[in-house]
Copies of this chain bind each other. A is one copy, B any other.
Amino acid sequence: MSLLTDFNQRQAVEVGQELHRFAAELYPICRSITGDGIRQTLAMIQDRLPLRIHEVPSGTGVFDWTVPKEWNIRDAFIKARDGQRVVDFQKSNLHVLNYSTPVHATMPLGELKPHLYTIPEHPDWIPYRTSYYKPDWGFCLSHNQLLALKDGEYEISIDSTLEDGHLTYGEHYLAGRSADEVLISCHACHPSLANDNLSGLAVATFLAGFLCGRELRYSYRFLFIPGTIGAITWLARNPEAVGRIRHGLVLTCIGDAGGFHYKKSRRGNAEIDQVVAHVLRHSGEPSEILEFSPYGYDERQYCSPGFNLPVGCLMRSVWERFPEYHTSADNLDFIRPAQLARALRVCTAILDVLENNRAYRSENPYCEPQLGRRGLYRSKDGGASREEMMARLWVLNFSDGKHSLLDIAERSGIFFPILSEAAHVLCQQELLSPLLSDDVVQATEKVSRALP
């Protein structure tokens, strides 16, 4: 019944190593919002998961945007007069301004400099820069590399193509008892950046793998997409699926050493917001809840006012707030097996609550039922632990048709799975029954979903 109980039977150490290993396999690929890098990435996820790959032609209109030309790159360098590559794409794909137009020329350093990007505060790190929608070319290099460049002529080359082609994304769908969906979305468009992209891809892939073959309440949709334009493209092409989204999470930057951060959906009090806050409070790790703002990852699109979907964003460290963000220091050492494993566990706990949160009705609303004669009360010869007894009393007292299990969990301070188990035992004893048809919570959600 409980996803979390099942998950807890795994060896956390091994799970972490597997997650990290998968991230390491994906690391070398030069991804971008279109092109073969993301195709290759999706193929590697497909090895582990049934994945439907979509190809959307360049020029396709998606709301206010247009799918751009497809970008591919084979090589790039800055060569000194002695023929040595002083900046070399083969050493790091971050060295090229992502989406650079092709160029091959020789020019003095002074002319080259406006095309060079560095981080003076971190002189050993290479920045990550892009120019998707404005044709441009450039190189990113460490500040120390820049300082070492002597005046003179340099040969530069970017062997890229920017041509009509496709935008590619992957979609994994798992049908549950209900057509109502849970959306898990992560971006797959960053080159060799580990926390910002690979951590989310790995956790989402393993989460989907963990759900496969289970009997589930909700249907699940996992999106592996290029950031911004990918989310916009998917939203534009899937109006019906959009209408079925009941809860959603964007996963990103989830493998570093920091504590959890959850940025709430625009609604601010959607069930997913309550669920994540509850799970993080009981996660045993430091965590912080952030208010929604219209800046960040793809929750920006899911939470645009026309959709206003109940989709939040789960991270460890927050984009732009950690110095390694969008630099070569966001590498495979920056993400840690144990942190990835615990992130996967938190995601599992979140889905466990979503799957099991419903409202019950006490069959015995007048005074307490006599738990003692049913062996359900605390007793010296081990009838129940104090926590079990308290969970049962809470569930019985608040199962009045107006409180979901999650409401009771929040009010009592008891972790959801313990209350869920209490509800299970009380149902077996016919002291409790699930509310018919739809839950109170679902009704509430439907009303708020109807709002723009």
Contacts and interface: CB of A to CB of B under 8 A. Distances in A.
Contacts of A368: 64, 228, 232, 294, 300-301, 304
Contact of A133 (B366, B372, B393, B394): B372
Contacts of A362: 305-306
A84 interface: no
A370 B235 CA distance: 15
A25 to B, nearest CB: 32
Nearest to A228: B368
A366 B397 contact: no
Contact of A366 (B235, B373, B412): B235
Interface size class for chain A? Answer: 35 or more
A307 interface: yes
Nearest to A62: B367
Contact of A294 (B231, B305, B394): B394
Nearest to A398: B305
- Each complex incorporates copies of this chain amounting to 3
Q: Which residue of A64, A308, A390 has the most chain B CB atoms within 10 A of its CB atom?
A: A64
Interface string A88-120: 000000000000000000000000000000000
Contacts of A401: 452
Nearest to A412: B293
Contact of A397 (B64, B232, B305): B305
Given A372-B134, A390-B295, A65 B397 contact: no
B366 A400 contact: no
A398 B293 CA distance: 10
Interface string A55-75: 000000011110000000000
A266 interface: yes
A241 B133 CA distance: 56
Interface in A338-385: 362, 364-370, 372-373, 379
A134 B379 CA distance: 10
A303 interface: yes
Contacts of A3: none
A192 interface: no
A364 B306 CA distance: 8
Contacts of A134: 372, 379
A399 interface: yes
A20 B6 CA distance: 58
Interface string A219-236: 000000000100110011
Given A390-B295, A397-B266, A304 B365 contact: yes
A235 B366 CA distance: 9
Nearest to A402: B452
Interface in A147-171: none
A294 B393 contact: yes
Contacts of A406: none
A111 to B, nearest CB: 17
A304 B367 contact: yes
B452 A365 contact: yes
A396 interface: yes
B64 A369 contact: yes
Nearest to A371: B64
A298 to B, nearest CB: 10
5 contacts: A63-B366, A63-B369, A235-B366, A305-B398, A400-B452
Given A232-B367, A294-B396, A300-B393, 15 more contacts: A63-B364, A63-B369, A64-B367, A65-B370, A134-B379, A294-B393, A294-B394, A303-B397, A304-B365, A305-B362, A305-B400, A306-B362, A307-B366, A365-B452, A401-B452
Interface of A: 62-65, 133-134, 228, 231-232, 235-236, 266, 291, 293-295, 300-301, 303-308, 362, 364-370, 372-373, 379, 390, 393-394, 396-402, 411-412, 452
